[in-house]
Chain A
Amino acid sequence: MNAGIRRLVFLAGVGVLCAWVIVPIYLIALGAFSGRTGVFRWPKSLWPSEATLASLQAFLAIDGVGAAAMNGALVAGLTMLFSLLIGAPAGYALARYAFPGATLFRLLVVLTRAFPLAILALPLTVTFIRIGLYDTALGVALIHTALALPFATLISASLFVGIPRELEEAAWVFGCSRIEAFRRVVLPLALPGLAAAAIFAFVISWNEVFAASVLTVRNKTLTAYLLTVLAESPLHFRFAGGFLLIVPSIIFIFAVRKYLFAMWGIANR
């Protein structure tokens, strides 16, 4: 085959795969912006004819949607905070110290990923009712942290491995204590990566639906709320809700795109 034609076929393949990702997102956006009547129009046009904010506004005006969105953001924020506060020190220990039990700890962390953790929320309903965590943002955030913690630990371990130990040692020589050296030398270098890990934890929590639905009644996250009302919602509400779920995810993946591979590369070995 001619090299030029081969190149063309290759580029067409790349283009088709890009379209495979983007076109469905465009179509649900179209569904979300086409209003109540637009959803039932037949046959549909693939171009926006009468863009309207009516569906999105009506969806946001439903009693409970705003609260659920706020609650989802709160749960995801807490998850982000917890998984970083608990995961980063553990990652630092794995990266900097050789200690008996390190392998065992790493195994525990890796093992949690081989389990469908969200399902384990089932017995927690009973425990959570007893200790008053049922139907609270804190309760959902705790189980979401269990989901995000393995990632946060392994990602931060790989980040800290990537920062030369010599920098830290130089700081000790100049009279910094261990904590001071960490705060003034290591932390600034690791911060962007840690932020990426935190954002990833946010996305995990924002998207999780099973545990969030099972552990709440009134204080649902947006994803869990949508799942609960799905059966009785008209189509244009479903599309508006689906679109609103996707928007923050796309922004966040864009924000962490540089770290996506550093995060997954070493974290998986």
Chain B
Amino acid sequence: MQQSRFVPYLLIAPATLFLTLLFVVPLVQTIALAFSDGGAPSLGNVRKMAGDLNFGLSIRNTFLLVLTVIPLQLGLALAMSMMLQKISHGRDLVLWIWSIPLGISDLAAGLVWLSILQDRGYLNSLLFAAGIIEGPTNWLSYEHPISLFVGVVLAESWRATAIVLVILVAGLQLIPAEYAEAAEIFGAKPWTRFRKITLPLLKPSIQSALILRTVLAFEVFAVVYALSGRNYPVIVGEAYAWQQVNQNNGVAAAYAMLVMAISLVATLVYLRVLRVRPETQP
């Protein structure tokens, strides 16, 4: 069939064109916008960004959040996926419940935790009933940076652990059961089996879960905004504010470049550190 050589190219043409127009072109445009001023190349936007009061703070806050939330989510998701393997009855129901947050937006998750953590919310009502606080306490103000941070971590962990879980569970299904059985016959304890068999074989899934989750975590913004407004500045929140409030898309683009660079570096680090050798996989 002579004509069939062109068929695959015909099939991928729309997707390639689309991704070029809406991914490659805006990417180049963002770079141009960030590093120019009135059409001429300039570092003005970058300088303005770096001189901004919230600049250092937003970077510190974002990194603090990512470095806390990602390990927490990976640990939690690993524990949950191991638990799922031991559930005999009602596994599907538990799995569905645990994956519900997958569909919940970051804004909605922020609002959910606002209802719990606001000064007259459910948490304070519980603390009041237990005699720990004397009246409504505002945990989400900038005067309480630690409780504000904990609130954001709670909301982010609540919302986005599900995606890690789903990727890990899907990866576990691809590992043949024979390996663990063989190890058990040779006397390996559950913890040894987990560390020496499951974890190495799960590496590709862990890698893709971490890349996906980390890129999204550096984009964190709506959760924080819903919980505290701009009391806890984060990088993308600053980009949003420069674009929508200050109407300065040059500085906003500079912030976008910053997030882009950080995400790219994070991805490369994961690819390098969690390098998967094909011969070690089934």
A: residues with CB less than 8 A from B are: 10, 13-14, 17-18, 20-22, 24-25, 27-28, 30-31, 39-46, 85-87, 89-90, 92-94, 96-97, 99, 101-102, 105, 108-109, 112-127, 142-143, 145-146, 149, 153, 178, 203, 206-210, 213-214, 223, 226-227, 230-231, 235, 238-239, 241-242, 245-246, 249-250, 252-254, 257, 260-266, 268-269
Contact = CB atoms under 8 A, between A and B. Distances in A.
**Majority-rule SS of B interface residues:** helix
A43 B128 CA distance: 7
B120 A102 contact: no
Contacts of A109: 15, 19
Interface string B63-105: 0000000000000000010010011000010111111111111
Contacts of A209: 105-107, 221-222
Contacts of A117: 23
Contacts of A18: 94, 97-98
Given A20-B158, A146-B22, A264-B167, A27 B116 contact: yes
B112 A28 contact: yes
A43 B129 contact: yes
A214 B205 contact: no
Nearest to A254: B96
Query: Which secondary structure dominates chain A's binding surface?
Result: helix
B259 to A, nearest CB: 5
Given A86-B18, A242-B112, A246-B108, A113 B212 contact: yes
Name the 7 nearest CB pairs between A and B, nearest first.
Answer: A242-B111, A249-B103, A207-B105, A265-B170, A123-B29, A93-B11, A90-B15
A261 B218 contact: no
Contacts of A13: 83
A27 B16 contact: no
Given A90-B12, A238-B111, A264-B167, A119 B259 contact: yes
Contacts of A20: 158
